[in-house]
Amino acid sequence: MLKNPTMYNRLIPGVLIAGMVMIIFAFSASPETTNFNEVSDNYILENLAEQDWNGCIQKVDSEWGGTCLNYGFSESKYTVHLMNSCTEKVDLMTCVQRENERWQCFYRMDMKQNDTLHAHACHGNGKYLKWVRKAGDFMTKFPTRQEVNDEY
């Protein structure tokens, strides 16, 4: 191939040096290792800010009839059982409508997963509403009972 031995003797060390430089540069330019816990935590925090908290509260049961403090037993007592199905704690406000179309409201703060709120109206009509926020998020306000009665 190459007839000049001096050129051949220079070519081999040049190729070896160039190869070593490329190898050293390849390892020095490798990306930094990432701690996957940090990435996961940031992703979770971003998702919590965007989460629809209403989806955490599920109606697990409801029933008609039961004892009321001022009325004794009432067939028209309506009770709804609402459970937190999320792993995050939530605050819950729920209102059950009475036969006179006014609302009876109940609150449960810091509901853990599987915690249940039992809300009732002694003379209920079977309707209920719910408002849910992340536990301790006092920037998100629940409506007042007056606002609920005026709007619904």
DSSP 78-97: EEEEEEE-SSS-EEEEEEEE
CA pseudo-torsion sign 48, 54, 55, 58 = positive
Out of 12-26, 37-51, 105-119, 137-151, which region has the weakest mean confidence (pLDDT)? 37-51
pTM above 0.75, yes or no: no
- Residue ranges of alpha helices (H) inside the chain are 5-28, 36-50, 145-151
Average pLDDT, the chain: 83
- Burial-class residue 93 by CB neighbours within 10 Å (0-12, 13-18, 19+): buried
Q: Is the pLDDT of residue 23 over 60?
A: yes
